[in-house]
Structure 1
Amino acid sequence: MTTIPVDLTRPMVPPLDGQATIDARAVSAWFGERKVLDRVSLVMPAGTVTALIGPSGCGKSTFLRTLNRMHELIPGASLAGEVFLGDKDIYDPARKLTDARKQIGMVFQKPNPFPAMSIYDNVLAGLKLTGVKASRAERDDLVEQCLAKAGLWLEVRDRLRSPGGALSGGQQQRLCIARSLAVRPKVLLMDEPCSALDPTSTRRIEQTIGELAHEVTIVIVTHNMQQAARVSQQCAFFLAEQGTPGAIVEAGPTEKIFSAPVDPRTSDYVHGRFG
């Protein structure tokens, strides 16, 4: 498969303090002997939402998981290449896994709050895992800030001690976003965060993504082409053809990918002719 070289090194908006570009360089991934990604290189600029699109089985979610070292937790999985957050490789042996996870958060396809834990404690769960100390007043402020950023504060402020598992699906997903934000990540990865949600909840999550994009770099996997067009500024089209590993066919500004792609396979996919 021919990979089209693309320069995605310049952010479309100036990054705020705390934001960081994430830069994958020649990333290949295996499950046992099966190679699922082949030398994927992609710059995901600070201050933007980058959408990863492509048919099922082309390696999008695997690639997303390499960006915060989740891939290496799968038995038999292996990886080659580098992933830079700013100027530091997150796979450098000298770097702690917890450091990468603190700086690069993850929101999964299915909402996964701790069901028996209160809404309040769900938001703060990441602090305990990363050993961050905070006073009661600081914790209260952080819970309010993160729930507000996730678009959930007004809906739950009077029941913070209720179980997180009692919320609706869309609310649970926004709670998971709030939990990810509590450790102040520089990057937020989202793996099909709306696929299990109704249209109203999907619109609210998309609104939240738009509101967060100015303060945290976002990378989202989606099969919804309309969603990719709505929420992202950069887009990368993945494809795995005839049993070959997944690779990027084309990447660039979202508007160009949808209106004037270079590769005909990209045009066929975004216009629904396959996938």
Structure 2
Amino acid sequence: MTQVMSALAEIDARAVSAWFGERKVLDRVSLLMPAGTVTALIGPSGCGKSTFLRTLNRMHELIPGASLAGEVRLSGADIYEPGRKLTDARRQIGMVFQKPNPFPAMSIYDNVVAGLRLTGTRVSKSAKDDLVESCLAKAGLWAEVRDRLRQPGGALSGGQQQRLCIARSLAVRPKVLLMDEPCSALDPTSTRRIEQTIAELAHEITIVIVTHNMQQAARVSQQCAFFLAEHGTPGVIVEAGPTETIFGSPSDERTSDYVHGRFG
């Protein structure tokens, strides 16, 4: 079986500010996301969590009029350094979106290996077969689809499609996996399965997840960062630290109010 993951890597955002045109949406956000752990980004809608997530693999710059300041360091190297290829950042820092987005007409097998083509990676047929099995197993999907790998990815259920997207992200051997509310469109059973997958992957890949579900943040993450944008000001991190601390004994009253459902 091929080894899917690279060495563990931390991701370190330093004084990241982000704009959409003239509107500043993040103000000097700094956060260290340790290697081999799950970091949950929590906070009310509109406080910049998803924007921050998109700055971590250079997706923010795809939006017309968007701009950014600060550094995002992956294992010490700034992904925004001049001359650093955009494709390098995308290959090393994968992304799973809120809505499952497999290539619907493409087979389950071809969905998993699609990233290899995009990154120009050439592998033998047997290595590809191993990779498909390994990635689907890591995404908790192999047992369910092993006998229908040539069927379209679009025929799977919503929860299975999301796990297929996780398998596709893993196939290019990323060091970090970003997840933007990966369970918000799923039923409770599928949500539990995705959470189980996150827990299993966390030992071999660094995961950053945006979630509005406080119970989910408490279940899946080891570290939490609470974002807030008050009175029309840009989003900032109010508090970050071990999940147990953020939920059990936060230092800021606003954090306590949010995690206990008193606002947001």
Question: TM-score interval w.r.t. the shorter chain?
Answer: over 0.9
Match of 1:128 among 117, 128, 153: 117
Match of 1:239 among 228, 239, 252: 228
Residue 202 of structure 1 is matched in structure 2 by: 191
What letter corresponds to residue 190 of structure 1 in structure 2?
M
Match of 1:224 among 210, 213, 217: 213
- Using the alignment, how far apart are the partners of 1:163 and 1:92 within structure 2? 39
Going from structure 1 to structure 2, the CA distance change for 1:157 and 1:235 (only over 3 Å counts) comes to same
Match of 1:185 among 159, 167, 174: 174
Q: Is residue 13–residue 73 contact of structure 2 (8 Å, CA) maintained in 1?
A: yes
Please report how far the alpha carbon of residue 184 of structure 1 lies from its aligned counterpart in structure 2 after TM superposition: 0.4
- Using the alignment, how far apart are the partners of 1:214 and 1:93 within structure 2? 32
The one-character-per-residue Cα deviations of 1:39-87 (angstroms, maximum 9, x if unpaired) are 0000000011000000000000000000000000000000000000001
Mapped pair 1:105 → 2:94: yes
Unaligned stretches of 5+ residues in structure 1: 1-15
Please report how far the alpha carbon of residue 21 of structure 1 lies from its aligned counterpart in structure 2 after TM superposition: 0.4
What letter corresponds to residue 176 of structure 2 in structure 1?
V
Unaligned stretches of 5+ residues in structure 2: none
- In structure 1, the residue corresponding to 2:237 is in which secondary structure? strand
Match of 1:26 among 5, 8, 15: 15
- Using the alignment, how far apart are the partners of 1:122 and 1:188 within structure 2? 17
Residue 149 of structure 1 is matched in structure 2 by: 138
- Tell me how large the CA RMSD over aligned residues is: 0.7
Identical aligned residues as a percent: 87
TM-score relative to the length of structure 2: 0.98
- Using the alignment, how far apart are the partners of 2:112 and 2:226 within structure 1? 33
Residue 10 of structure 1 is matched in structure 2 by: none
Please report how far the alpha carbon of residue 238 of structure 1 lies from its aligned counterpart in structure 2 after TM superposition: 0.1
Please report how far the alpha carbon of residue 152 of structure 1 lies from its aligned counterpart in structure 2 after TM superposition: 0.1
- In structure 1, the residue corresponding to 2:165 is in which secondary structure? helix
- Using the alignment, how far apart are the partners of 2:203 and 2:48 within structure 1? 27
Mapped pair 1:35 → 2:24: yes
- Using the alignment, how far apart are the partners of 1:145 and 1:90 within structure 2? 28
TM-score relative to the length of structure 1: 0.94
After TM superposition, the runs of 4+ consecutive aligned structure 1 residues lying more than 2 A away are none
- Using the alignment, how far apart are the partners of 1:80 and 1:128 within structure 2? 32
What letter corresponds to residue 39 of structure 1 in structure 2?
R
Q: Is residue 6–residue 174 contact of structure 2 (8 Å, CA) maintained in 1?
A: no
Q: Is residue 6–residue 173 contact of structure 2 (8 Å, CA) maintained in 1?
A: no
Please report how far the alpha carbon of residue 17 of structure 1 lies from its aligned counterpart in structure 2 after TM superposition: 5.8
Mapped pair 1:51 → 2:40: yes
Residue 6 of structure 1 is matched in structure 2 by: none
Q: What is the correspondence of 1:43-82 to structure 2 with a 5 Å cutoff?
A: 43-82=32-71
- In structure 2, the residue corresponding to 1:206 is in which secondary structure? helix
Mapped pair 1:263 → 2:263: no
- In structure 2, the residue corresponding to 1:175 is in which secondary structure? helix
Please report how far the alpha carbon of residue 93 of structure 1 lies from its aligned counterpart in structure 2 after TM superposition: 1.2
Q: Is residue 6–residue 175 contact of structure 2 (8 Å, CA) maintained in 1?
A: no
